[in-house]
Amino acid sequence: MDRKKVVIVGGGMTGLSAAYHLQKQVKSANLPIDITLVEGSNRLGGRIHTIKRDGFTIEKGPDSLLARKPAAMNLAEELGILDQTRRNSTGQSFMLIKNRLHKMPKGAFMGVPKEVGPLLRSNSFTLTGKIRGLMDLIIPRKKRSGDESLGHFMRRRFGDQVVVNQIDPLLSGIHSGDIDQMSLEAIYPVFGKMEQEYGSVMKGLRKTMSKPAKNSKPAQGQFFSFTNGLQKLVDALEAKLDTVKILRENKVNHIEKKETGYHLLLDSGEVLAADFVLAAVPHTQVPGMLSKHAPLQELYAIPATSTANVVLAFDEKQIKRDLDGTGFLVTRNSNYRFTACTWTHRKWEGTAPAGKALLRCYVGKPDDQEIVKESDETLVDIVLKDLNKVMKVKGKPLFYEITRFIEARPQYHTGHLELVSRVRDYVASQLPNLELIGSSYDGTGLPDCIEHGQKGAELAIEALTQNK
């Protein structure tokens, strides 16, 4: 049988996962399939990038994986690195509302209230705000007719105050977007289903989320990483790709559909032939690669926001008002330009030497995108000015590391699922044996990307073996 060729475009977490799972299935069934992974930069892993500096472990990109999504933990187990995982500290986190830090209430899921008691005891809301929040328990379910923004849904259930001071900072922060434009159906359909099934989000959360048993062990953190940072996952994946041809610093300029298969033109001038293509690149790159297919221009309608991480190292004695916690989120009604701050040395044990502190601040609100283009020195000054309103930091940092992600965070606005469905229908009919996979379409988290890669591998195997 002729050997088949699969080309994976993009070496981020989706592309790496696709290559790994594809290789595993090819080896398991002894299939005559060759795999090539093409990556435009000089390194694999996409936004994941861990560095070591002066005894600090610094994440220039994401700092963790969500433990409740099994794909990442299952992959770590397969790669033999499960024993190197570590959970985040479950210390107190805060919400910065206007100019005051408030403890993040217990009894919530993703910032959404679950229990009555913690909401009533919280000092983040007025009595009116608390009463309005609890009305979720009695407001009738709304008959659904199409998509709804996550912000509109939450305000309808809990009122403005609970949304602004608790739900919005967490959910908008996770997705680097605007909760009032995010699609409920594309991002958190579970909340809509709870309203329909239980008549209340709070009731739904209590019914579906198990309570810890009495005398049970202390709760583990919701996130996990590895002893030496997330880079361990990338390195372990790359080490396993012993039969995958990896082309770094090779950008795919054009993908041409041929009578059978595809030709991929690289910026080096090389042409790769493929029987199946997995495009694991940001959606903004796809229309250019497949420029002869006008309907794919619709992908430009998926917005993408820019963010930056500003990591600052200090001597602990420089922080004059130390706070016993793991960090804080900033509400939109507060006069600050950063959106959150993680006390990394508290959240992740071993990331800073003894006597040192490592702070990680985030900038790039949807209505403040220009900040990401500021110089390093200006960004540090902005962040230090904001920090000093909260923590009283003395002097300049020992050093800083800044990472910019320009238009790198895809936004799932209302109608996202319909847009993706239209594009995928076109691809299925006009571009057989080509799949669009990755964070632009079906989930933006790293565990989601691992699943996207696995699904892409399965689709490739199915297509190339169906006539065997």
Same domain for 328 and 290, yes or no, is no
Name every residue whose Cβ is closer than 8 Å to that of residue 112 and which is 6 or more positions away in sequence.
Answer: 154, 158, 167, 191, 201, 205
Same domain for 316 and 284, yes or no, is no
Same domain for 459 and 421, yes or no, is yes
Average pLDDT over residues 352-360: 96
Domain assignment of residue 202, yes or no: yes
Percent of the chain with pLDDT over 90: 86
∠ CA 185-290-14, nearest 5°, is 50
Same domain for 294 and 433, yes or no, is yes
- Structural domain boundaries enclosing 117: 104-208
CATH of residue 323? 3.90.660.20
DSSP 3-state of 235: helix
Task: Return d(Cα 157, Cα 151) in angstroms, integer.
Answer: 10
Same domain for 372 and 446, yes or no, is no
Same domain for 366 and 418, yes or no, is no
pLDDT of residue 333: 83
Average pLDDT, the chain: 94
Least confident of 134-143, 187-196, 216-225: 216-225
pLDDT of residue 74: 95
| Residue where a domain stops, chosen among 410, 430, 447 | 410
CATH of residue 19? 3.50.50.60
Average pLDDT over residues 400-426: 97
Same domain for 283 and 312, yes or no, is no
Same domain for 289 and 420, yes or no, is yes
Question: In 3D, which of 406, 216, 395 has the Cα closest to residue 312?
Answer: 395
pLDDT digit string, tens, across residues 100-110:
898 888 889 98
| Residue where a domain stops, chosen among 391, 410, 429 | 410
| Position 289, amino acid | M
Domain assignment of residue 294, yes or no: yes
CATH of residue 182? 1.10.3110.10
Domain assignment of residue 91, yes or no: no
Same domain for 282 and 319, yes or no, is no
pLDDT of residue 222: 82
Domain assignment of residue 386, yes or no: yes
Domain assignment of residue 351, yes or no: yes
Same domain for 424 and 395, yes or no, is no
Number of domains in the chain: 3
Same domain for 277 and 420, yes or no, is yes
The pLDDT-based confidence of 23 (bands split at 50, 70, 90) is: very high
pLDDT of residue 219: 60
pLDDT of residue 210: 66
Least confident of 13-27, 208-222, 327-341: 208-222
The pLDDT-based confidence of 211 (bands split at 50, 70, 90) is: low
Task: Return d(Cα 392, Cα 409) in angstroms, integer.
Answer: 32
Same domain for 291 and 252, yes or no, is yes
Task: Return d(Cα 19, Cα 453) in angstroms, integer.
Answer: 8
Does the pTM exceed 0.85? yes
The pLDDT-based confidence of 334 (bands split at 50, 70, 90) is: confident
Position with higher pLDDT, 115 vs 91: 115
pLDDT digit string, tens, across residues 32-46:
999 999 999 999 999
Domain assignment of residue 457, yes or no: yes
